[in-house]
Amino acid sequence: MTMERDDLRRLHYINALFAHVTGQDLFLANQIKSAISFSLSELEAQTAADPGLATTYNEAFNAAAATLLAKLHSQLPRHGFFHWDASRTIQSGTQLFARAEVMNGLKQLAPFRNSTLLITNLRPAVLPPERRETPKRRREYEDLLVFLRELTAARSASDSDLTLLFL
């Protein structure tokens, strides 16, 4: 059975997000992906009828996966979790506003020795799909990724185990 490109991308996305649960087992990751897809079955049917809704479905799938991950981490009393959705504001694609959001997340995660900082939709915030992807915008996106990685490393305790995920 050949999977569509988007299904394969979603499977790897789920496998990366839930690796600590699945143990990198693609069968278990596929079970989680199928459960999320089932919860979005109405939107999936609409997307099949109108391929223009693919972006909406992808956003809904990513949001459902992030919500599931947040619920999972809320059950772990000694594990901190913070999710920042960069698509919430227009300014999220700038270093100043991204820094403020990440610093807010790091403050919330500071009491935990093990924590996860999930950043979603950063690429569409910097490189909107409706705008042309220029070399300057690509460079700004890459610079922002480097900046956020360095900021997270510099502002988290050296004895903490912080996982930084960009999705």
Residue 149 has pLDDT above 80, yes or no: yes
Share of the chain above pLDDT 70, in %: 95
Mean pLDDT of 118-129: 84
Q: Which of 103, 115, 25, 21 is nearest to 68 (CA)?
A: 21
Specify the pTM: 0.75
What residues pair up with 117 in beta bridges, in sequence order?
82, 164
Q: Where are the alpha helices (DSSP H) in the chain?
A: 5-17, 19-22, 26-39, 41-49, 54-74, 95-109, 122-126, 135-155
**pLDDT score, position 14:** 87
Residue 53 has pLDDT above 50, yes or no: yes
**pLDDT score, position 109:** 93
Residue 92 has pLDDT above 70, yes or no: no
> 13 exposed, middle or buried (CB, 10 Å; 0-12, 13-18, 19+)?
middle
Who's near 59: CB < 8 A, 6+ residues apart?
87, 121
**pLDDT score, position 2:** 37
Other beta carbons within 10 Å of 162:
20
**In the structure, what pLDDT confidence band is assigned to residue 99 with cuts at 50, 70 and 90?**
very high
Residue 61 has pLDDT above 80, yes or no: yes
